[in-house]
Structures are given as structure tokens and as C-alpha cells.
Homo-oligomer: A and B are copies of this chain.
Amino acid sequence: MTTTTAPLSDAELTQLDAYWRAANYLSVGQIYLLDNPLLREPLQPEHVKPRLLGHWGTTPGLNLLYAHLNRVIRHRDSDVVFVTGPGHGGPGLVANTYLEGTYSEVYTGIGQDAEGLRKLFRQFSFPGGIPSHVAAETPGSIHEGGELGYALVHAFGAAFDNPDLVVAAVVGDGEAETGPLAASWHSNKFLDPVRDGAVLPILHLNGYKIANPTVLARIPQQELESLFTGYGYIPITVAGDEPADVHQQLAAALDEAFDQIGAIQRASREDGEVGRPLWPMIILRTPKGWTGPAEVDGVKVEGTWRSHQVPLAETRTNPAHRAALETWLRSYRPEELFDDTGALLPELRALAPVGTRRMGANPHANGGVLLRDLDLPPMHDYAVEVSSPATESAEATRVLGTFLRDVIARNPDNFRLMGPDETASNRLSAVFETTDKVWLADISEDDEHLASSGRVMEVLSEHLCQGWLEGYLLTGRHGLFNCYEAFVHIVDSMVNQHAKWLTSSAHLDWRRPVASLNYLLTSHVWRQDHNGASHQDPGFIDHVANKRPEVVRVYLPPDANTLLAVGDHCLRSRQYVNVIVAGKQPALTYLTMDEAVAHCTRGAGIWEWASSSTPGNGLGEPDVVLACAGDVPTLETLAAADILRRRLPDLGVRVVNVVDIMRLQPESEHPHGLPDHEFDALFTTDKPIIFAYHGYPWLIHRLTYRHTNHAQLHVRGFKERGTTTTPFDMVMLNDLDRFHLVMDVIDRVPGLGSAAAGLRQEMVDARLAAKHYTREHGEDDPAITGWTWQREI
């Protein structure tokens, strides 16, 4: 539908347009001007920046929307957060937060006067200044403006459990071509109109990307509306290139959208209406680079892709370009907008909301200020009993599930569990004893645990899980993303951006810390034997390890109680990306809860019970160190240690288990890094280390290469050998099995003699026999998989 009413009086229209002109003026000023901010003298070359870095094309549209949303907020006292999909329109958001006063409050050096304007302009995209895109530095933002595709999913994440919030999400028509954005529209099937706020998507069709038209701008209007009807929205179209006309249309469209939102919320909250409402969305079709130069050097610019960045490129050296810039700037009539001191005129300033109703000052966009600690149950209540190490079994994630169940029960409005259709597969099903999966689409009688409200969110899109959670965290709440290990790579690029956000925001004292982004990666590489090679990839750890050490933590708890300890720790933490990798299959348990807490606190330690009672035990110097990180490598290492202790009783074997792999770095490289002498105390300075690691082996080398004993380090891990087979065959394919670890020890410890040579041959034979058994029976030899620690040896 296209709206035709004209809700603005002439005076309102004039003022709104003036506000828009002010924002456009400040935007162009940021991109171009070093000085002479109010054009009180003729524009000289030295007033213009030597390098022009910024994006004009999307900016007038953003400014238009911001100004109109200000009006709606004032009229309705609405609580609105603005999400800028076309985040390269950074000048617009800086301009608007400056006009409303937020910017000068946050950055007190940038005052509301001519000098403040000069600094505002100069700092933009300038060395030592601010980024050219919307970023953590931009007040009111929860959304980095670099990589495109996540505006809408962030908006939904922000709206969850914020019933009074409206998140206005501007989606650029370029961004709309991305996969994550195309899927994000379906988020309306996961938004509860009772307990969640509203998202108002605004698709800004300015028609062009960097160098091309956009798909959605070039399909028939009927097809476009059909698409959004199909996505479950009621589209409201605003289209034009005459400001006065567009102002009226947009004001009417926003009134209508907010009316519809109010009606939906009243119906579901007061009248008890159930089911999925059809939410409004706005299609805004205005020219790219609107109000900028129509032509430059005889070529059309306004309304084309050529206005994407800087329409006038040579303003410092080309007088004609500089004159065109001056004409462009003066077309906004700054003298009608700012007073003698350079302050915005009071009647225009009055068009912005006040206090925390200003979108730049909305506390939801600085979630740390709203963050409450989780009420966590005592983890000891969920611990499994471990009467003796490596003799009893538990499913680690199933145990964690009972803890998460009660985390959810105790925190009914600020914790969510995300997963791409895998929460039950990952054995966290205990959570369904206390909550449901959010589902606003149709429900049939066969369905289980689906409801319009719930703490678990499942959709077969890692992008949506990640984006919802990011939006939820950045607005001050908590959560956990459970995912198959291999497929979390789907969100590699999103976690890059989130980590960058955390890194940047840590330098801004006005941004308060948010809860960590917690991953539970299970169904991991060693137990995807049934799904085969496509499901076998432990590389997310490597990806995360490239981020700044201040923001990344990686944990490989070897059993159920260590997973509990790590989980509890991560849920209490702030401002990190925490990656936890843990198995879901029945697996041996090693540590009591108290031991687990102590071990996880140290992050890495000697397991004396598994080490030889010969000189290698405890802190005595062993002949060889068997190190391990990860549940399956720990199992194989212990089984290898068992063989070595029985068969080579004079060999001093030390078992070191690593939970927190960042402990392996030098302390100069990571806050969790071990001091050299502590590393040496664990790993010796000159004895062979056989390290059985969960992932790609070279990560361990990359973390440890500065340590004294690195030359003696030999790492086994996943070397991309996988297929559909049995669990033990998987470890054998990658030489991580107990038999091969024993061979590695024999090959690297000098002077072991003929008994060792005989044992080595037995290990070769044992591998062949194990391979033969699986090929014959289709399953692993129970004599191998049934191994437990033989205390009496």
C-alpha cells in the first residue's frame, strides 16, 4: 500500500525539513571540511580535507529517517533504538547524535558551537579521529557499519524481552542481497508480541550499491510487495524525490506503522489474541545521494551509484569541484539552521526528543548500563559423582543441560539459549523441563516444546542464531549459542565483527561491558564419525585465536564437571568471546567438582593420579610429558599412559591436561598466558612432550613456539583425515589414538631398549587389529572403547 494522507502542518513540514537539512549539512561537512564549518567565509582549499573518506550516498536517507523517528518519539513518547544497516553512512549518525545533543555529552570536547562543529568535522575519518562508518564510537549504535547483512537480525535480538522497545532497522537495498539479511525477515516467526518489543524494518531502496543497481530496486513494485507479504509483513511504501512530498508520505507511513504496532501489542497483550501477527514494514524509495550534486563534470551523480562515496573528488585541487561543494553546502542554508555561536537554533533543537528518549542516548544501545548479573545456581548441585578418575561415564553436555535448565528458570527475562535445530541433538534437553522453543508460526498437535514464548531459539540458520544473540547481548542481556563445531564456521565473519566491536568498545569509557558471547561447540570433530567429513572441522578455535587476546578465551573441558566449571565461569564473564568445546557422548569422568574447579582455575595442570609413581610423578622430573586438551585426546592420552605405566614401568610419564588453551601462550601474549617458569614446570625444559590436541595440531605450535621446550614438542591432532566411520577409527586416521601416542613416546624418548621396541611393534599390530575389527563388525572393538583407568596398576 502507499499512504496518501498529509499529517504534517506547513510549519511542521518546514521545521522537519530544516532539521533534515541541518543533518545533511553536518554530514557533508564531516566528509569534506577541515575548517570554516559554518561557511562564514568563502571556501578555500585549506578548508577541505586532503583525503576524502566517507560515504554520502546513503546518508540523506538515514538523516531523513532519523528526523522523522524523532518526531514519532516525541509525539508518542516511544522508546526507539535505531539500527543503521547501511553503516557506512557514519556521517549521518554522528550528525544526528550531535544535533540531538548526545554527542557533546558523550564526547565533551565536541561542543555545541562553531568550534565544536570544526572539531566534529575534522575528526571524521581522520587519523586519530573516528571511523568513517557507524561503530562502537557512535552513540546509540549496537551495530558496526562494515560488513553488511546483520542489521535486521541485530534488531530482533535487541527487541527480544524488551516489550516496550521499538527497534527501527534501516536495511539498505545492497545489504538486502546478502544471505543473512534475506533470512532475517523470517525472524518475525520468533518474536513474541507479548513479551518482546517490536521491530520496524525500513527497506531503503536508494537503488544502487557501489557500482550496480540493487536487485530489490529493479523488480516490479508488485513483486516487491508480494515478497514482503510472503515474508509475513504488511509493506507500506514511501516513494519520491520531492522533499515536501516525501516528508508527508513518510510521516504518514511512520504514524501508520506505529499505530499498527500499538494495535498488535494491545491485541496480544490486552485482548489475548494469539498467533503470529503481520507486522508493518516500510519500503522507502528515494534517490541515492539525494540533495547532493546532480551532476559532476557533466555526468549524472545524484540518483546513481556515482554518489556512493564522495560525489566531488577533487575539492582541494579543482576550483570547479570546490565551488560545487560550496554551492552544495550552502544549499542547506546553514545560516537558517545555526545561530551566531554555531549552535543549532532552539526551535530545531526542540524537534529532537530529550534525555534517554534520544536515540543516541537510549540505554538499550549501551547495553552494559542495563546489564544485570545472572542469578546462577550453585554448580555443585549438578556435579556428577566421581568416585575414582576415569572409571565412570557421563554425557558432559547433558549434565550442563541440567545447570542451564535452572539458569533459565532463575533468569526468565534476560537469558536465551540459541541453536540451529540442535539443542536436543546436543543433549541439552533438560532445558525443556522449564521452558519452550519460541515459535510464532503454526503449531500442530504433534509438536513438542513449541510456544509463543520461550528461552530457547532454534532456527536452521547459524547466522540468525549468532545475530539474534549479538543483538541480545549488546542490549544488556546474556546467552549461549550451542552449535555443531564444524558449522560454526558459518559465522566466522560475524564473530570477527563482534570481536572488533568488543575491542573498540573497551577503549570507550562511556560504553559499559556487556556479557560475553558464549559458544558451546559440541557434536565435535571426533564424534561426527557418523555424519562424515563434511561435519568434521575443528578450525573455529584457530579462527577465534586470531582475534585480540583481550577478548578471546577458548576452553576444552575434558569431562562433565570441568564443563560445568567452565560454563559457570563463562556465564559470569564480560566482554569476551568464550569458545567451549565439549562432547555430548558418554565419556569417562576424571575430576570431582572441587577438583574440576581447581583445575579449571589453573587452566592447565599435572594429573598426578595418571602420572607414573616413578620419578615422573608430581613435580619430579619425568622422562616424557603426555599433554592433552579436549575430551577425546584426554581419553586417548590416559589410555596411552596406562599402557606405558604397565609395560614400561621404569619410564617416568607425566600427564598434563590443558583446559584453557590460552594458558599455553607466553604471558606477554595473552592475559591468560603462563609465566615461563610455570610453563617449564609443567612441560619441562628438555623432555619430549607428546601433545594430543583436539584440533589442528599447528595451533599448539603457534601458541607455544616462544617457550623453552618447544623444540621437543610433538603434537597430534586433526589433520583433515575424516569420513563416515567409527569413533576410534577417526582417531586412528589422524594418529591421535592411544597406540600411536605410545609409539610417539617410544620414538622420542631415547634409550628405552628392547622392551620398548617390542611394545612399539605391539602398538602397530594393535592399530591394524582395531582397523580390522571395525571393518569387520562395523563398530569399534569394545575392548578398546570400554577402557577405564586401572587404579591397581
Contacts and interface: CB of A to CB of B under 8 A. Distances in A.
Interface string A474-487: 00000000000011
A213 to B, nearest CB: 6
A178 to B, nearest CB: 5
A364 interface: no
Interface stretch (A319-327, A400-408, A542-550): A542-550
A696 interface: yes
A543 B179 contact: no
Nearest to A534: B146
Contact of A503 (B210, B444, B486, B720): B720
Contact of A460 (B148, B710, B720): B148
Nearest to A186: B215
Interface stretch (A59-67, A92-100, A643-651, A770-778): A770-778
Interface in A285-313: 300, 303-304
Contact of A534 (B133, B177, B228): B133
Interface stretch (A36-44, A525-533, A554-562, A759-767): A525-533
A129 to B, nearest CB: 7
Nearest to A124: B724
A50 B699 CA distance: 36
Interface string A729-762: 1000000000000000000000000000000000
Contacts of A503: 533, 720
A140 to B, nearest CB: 18
B486 A504 contact: no
A723 interface: yes
A698 interface: yes
Contact of A444 (B177, B211, B213, B698): B213
Given A146-B534, A182-B182, A189 B210 contact: no
A539 interface: yes
Contacts of A543: 492, 539, 542-543
Contact of A146 (B178, B225, B460, B533): B533
Interface string A460-504: 110110000000000000000000001101101100110010011
A214 B463 CA distance: 16
B726 A51 contact: yes
A792 interface: no
Interface string A414-430: 00000001111100000
A498 B267 CA distance: 49
Contacts of A228: 230
Given A232-B223, A492-B489, A212 B437 contact: yes
Interface in A693-722: 696, 698-699, 701-702, 705, 710, 720
A500 B534 contact: yes
A724 B51 contact: no
Contact of A774 (B127, B174, B459, B696): B127
A530 B304 contact: no
Contacts of A303: 446
A537 to B, nearest CB: 6
A125 B230 contact: no
A392 interface: no
Contacts of A175: 460
Contact of A127 (B126, B705, B775): B775
A440 to B, nearest CB: 9
A425 to B, nearest CB: 6
Contacts of A439: 212-213, 218
B49 A532 contact: no
Contacts of A608: none
A425 B308 CA distance: 12
A212 B419 CA distance: 12
Contacts of A185: 182
B421 A210 contact: yes
A179 B725 contact: no
Given A539-B543, A543-B492, A211 B534 contact: no
A690 interface: no
Given A51-B778, A460-B209, A724 B131 contact: yes
Contacts of A729: 127
A53 B530 contact: yes
B179 A178 contact: yes
B446 A300 contact: yes
A346 interface: no
Interface in A108-144: 125-133, 135, 144
A381 interface: no
A88 B724 CA distance: 12
Contact of A179 (B227, B232, B461): B461
Contacts of A227: 226-227, 229-231
B177 A179 contact: no
B219 A533 contact: no
A145 interface: yes
Nearest to A721: B548
B487 A534 contact: no
Interface in A70-105: 88
A169 interface: no
Contacts of A486: 146-147, 496
Interface string A205-244: 0000111111100111001111111111000000000000
A442 interface: yes
Contact of A125 (B437, B504, B724): B724
Contact of A133 (B226, B447, B487, B532): B532
Interface string A141-172: 00011111100000000000000000000000
B532 A213 contact: no
Interface in A670-711: 696, 698-699, 701-702, 705, 710
A219 B671 CA distance: 49
A535 interface: yes
A443 B208 CA distance: 12
Given A230-B229, A503-B720, A530 B132 contact: yes
Contacts of A600: none
B533 A504 contact: yes
Interface of A: 34, 49-51, 53, 88, 125-133, 135, 144-149, 174-175, 177-186, 189, 209-215, 218-220, 223-232, 300, 303-304, 421-425, 437, 439, 441-444, 446-447, 450, 458-461, 463-464, 486-487, 489-490, 492-493, 496-497, 500, 503-504, 530-535, 537, 539, 542-543, 546-548, 696, 698-699, 701-702, 705, 710, 720, 723-726, 729, 771, 774-775, 777-779
26 contacts: A88-B531, A125-B724, A133-B724, A135-B532, A144-B534, A145-B534, A146-B531, A146-B532, A147-B486, A147-B490, A177-B183, A178-B183, A178-B461, A179-B184, A181-B183, A189-B218, A210-B424, A218-B439, A218-B443, A218-B444, A229-B230, A230-B231, A492-B493, A500-B720, A503-B720, A705-B705
Given A179-B182, A226-B230, 8 more contacts: A50-B778, A133-B724, A146-B533, A177-B183, A186-B215, A209-B460, A213-B447, A218-B444
Q: Top 8 nearest A-B pairs by Cβ distance? A: A146-B534, A227-B230, A179-B179, A218-B441, A226-B230, A182-B182, A489-B493, A131-B532
